Structure 1
Amino acid sequence: MDTEAWGMLLRVHAALTPVLDQELQAAHGIPLTWYDVLLELNAAPARRLTMSELGAAAVVSRSRVSRVVDELVRAGLVERVANPEDKRSAFAKLTPAGRTKLRAAAPTYLAGIERHFTGRMTRAEAQTVAAALGKVLRAHEASTVIPLGRTR
């Protein structure tokens, strides 16, 4: 069994994540985990997600997402909003300040990805990597069982 691709994926992630984190913190005062959560909320309908949805969408671990949201709430970048359909849960909702912070940090994030990742390969190589990883992710998502009444 060939595990070279898996090993390289892990090593690249471990090498580049701290670099991107450091660049975002230096330029905008936010860690990569905050940026990721803000990005997912910005892309969501009504710019809000339940903690479960956010945990499934964000790169941050599911166990850590609530703590990151608490930090973002204290910073005024996210607010917790009651879920009228399920009183036991709440939405994390992007605030206008959160959207402003995300927009300000986006050029730094995108430039970092280009400088440290996609800029190190040809366009064809980047497309091949994206296609291959997308195939793996879609297969995983298709095989994941979702409890009745829940959505992805």
Structure 2
Amino acid sequence: MAKAQDQRDGRDVSDDELITWWGLTVEAFTRTSRLAVADLGVDVSVPGPWFDVLLRLLRTPGHRMTMTRLAHEVSLTSGGFTKCADRLVAAGLIERQGSPEDRRITYVALTEEGLATAREARSWHVRSLRRFFLEPLGTKDAERLAELMRRLRDANTPPAPS
């Protein structure tokens, strides 16, 4: 039965129902996201976009990534990411590194201070996620929601630049 529902084309869903589903999705994400990042508990002020950058670098082998790929992964334009990176560099949390193989490529890497800040912010974030995401949904529904959101993300994401 679930498979048959997955294959429906959506024509049997009213416009109002579709708008309601989307509105609930956005509203739930927005409220939960605000709670989960409200207080990352670190000495350095870590705004949401900064935290996304620090967390992605923390979870990447070597704690570094090309600027182009990182901008894509945190859903910022090239110019928007450059401004964010400038602020993170000024705060001493990341550094830019040129590529010895290709001068057109610039890497962004966590500094020691950035690594410590990212680890501390991650610990606070995990506690918030357990409280505001995992507790209300439970493990099974949280996992299912993550699977659905991955499918939606993948269906609507252009290929990542190299």
Calculate the TM-score normalised by the size of structure 2: 0.76
Residue from 2, 18, 26 that aligns with 2:34? 18
One of 45, 61, 69 as aligned partner of 2:76? 61
Specify whether residues 3 and 137 from structure 1 end up closer, same or farther in structure 2 by C-alpha distance, changes over 3 A only: same
1:3-36: CA deviation from partner (whole Å, max 9, x where unpaired): 4443222112222333333212xx2132222221
Matched, 1:124 2:140: yes
Higher mean displacement: 105-114 or 63-72: 63-72
1:74 is aligned to 2:90: yes
Compared CA separation, residues 16 and 64, structure 1 to 2 (3 A): farther
**1:20 and 1:32 in contact (8 A); partners too:** no
Q: How many Å apart are 1:73 and its aligned residue?
A: 0.7
Amino acid at match of 2:97: V
Mark the CA change 1:85 to 1:13 in structure 2 (over 3 Å): closer, same or farther: farther
The higher radius of gyration belongs to: 2
Corresponding residue number in structure 2 for 1:114:
130
Query: Deviation at 1:145?
Result: 4.8
What residue ranges of structure 2 are gaps of 5+ in the alignment? 1-12
The share of aligned pairs that are identical, in percent, is: 26
Preserved contact between residue 73 and residue 79 of structure 1 (Cα < 8 Å): yes
Query: Quick one: higher RCO (CA 8 Å, sep 6+), 1 or 2?
Result: 2
Contact 1:42–1:99 (8 Å) recurs in 2:
yes
Structure 2 residue 106 is the aligned partner of structure 1 residue 90: yes
* 2:33 pairs with 1:51: no
Give the root-mean-square deviation of aligned CA atoms: 2.1
State the AA in 2 paired with 1:23. Answer: D
Tell me how far apart the structure 2 counterparts of residues 72 and 55 of structure 1 sit (CA, whole Å): 13
Contact 2:58 2:119 (8 Å CA) reproduced: no
C-alpha deviations, 1:35-57, integer Å up to 9, x for none? 21011112223221122100121
**2:4 is matched with which residue?**
none
Provide closer, same or farther for how the CA distance between residues 134 and 31 of structure 1 changes in structure 2, counting only shifts above 3 A: same
Alignment: residue pair count: 143
Q: What's the TM-score once normalised by structure 1's chain length?
A: 0.80
Q: Which runs of 5+ in 1 are unaligned?
A: none
Residues 50 and 84, structure 2, Cα contact 8 Å, conserved in 1: yes
